Amino acid sequence: VAYMAYTSILNEQSLNDALRFSCMTGRMRAAFKAKLFEEAADVAAQVEKSESCGDDLKREALYVQAKSLLSLSRREEALPLFGSLAENPLDAIGAEARYQLIRDRFDRAEYAKVEEMVYAFAESGTTQNRFVAASFIILGDSFAERGQMLQAKATFESIRDGYTPESETDDILEQVNLRLDRIGKME
């Protein structure tokens, strides 16, 4: 509904540039929230290229574009955007971008690169603990994929013992416990 409202307002010829940009930004956010990923990616690209776009909004637009492209299975288009966002892992957007890049390396079975990237992420100074912990889960999975079950178990136990959930919907410890249960059944 909000997406359509912003779209109809943008069709008005009498809008000034500031109002037009504000509507375009609202349209991007509404499309993304409504999971209209094709539209969200397109509008985010327009927002990001606008002369009215400040640094924070540019970052948000790149994020919306990257996440939308990933949701559309257009990973190769999303990865460079995540790469740009990951240069600053101190905020949630940059931390999630780092996580997405690590996830991609895992999916490509580049386990040594996963290890290198996870340790660099942990040392980056970010306070985005949920994404760091999720990255360590991927590291544990990469050890398991290489048959290094003791190292995988130690990684998962380290997360279990040192991570504090950030919200009621945080499932990091649940994921870790599932993996530890699976390893326990293999022993």
Instruction: Supply 152's token pair.
Output: 């995988």
Given a cut of 80, whether residue 15 has pLDDT beyond it is no
Residue 2 has pLDDT above 70, yes or no: no
Buried b / exposed e across 149-175, counting CB within 10 Å, b at 16+?
A: eebbbebbeebeeebeeeeeebebeeb
User: Does residue 157 surpass a pLDDT of 80?
Assistant: yes
Rg (CA), the chain: 20
Backbone dihedral angles phi then psi of residue 63, each to the nearest 5 degrees: -65, -50
pTM here is 0.88
Q: Tell me: pLDDT of 22 over 70.
A: yes
pLDDT (tens digit per residue) in 63-121:
999 999 999 999 999 999 999 999 999 999 999 999 999 999 999 999 999 999 999 99
Contacts of 144 (CB under 8 A, 6+ apart): 152, 179, 183
- Residue 7 confidence (pLDDT): 59
Residue 105 is encoded by which pair of tokens?
């390396």
CB-based contacts of 94: which residues, under 8 Å, 6+ apart? 85, 86, 87, 88, 126, 128
Query: Is the dihedral angle over the CA atoms 169, 152, 135, 138 positive or is it negative?
Result: negative
Amino acid in the structure at residue 152: A
Above pLDDT 90, what percent of the chain?
82
Q: What is the pLDDT at residue 14?
A: 52
Q: What is the DSSP string of 76-138?
A: HHHHHHHHHHHT-TTSHHHHHHHHHHHHHHHHTT-HHHHHHHHHHHHTTT---HHHHHHHHHH
164 HSE (CA, 13 A, CB side): 1
Give the pLDDT confidence score for residue 187 in this predicted structure.
75
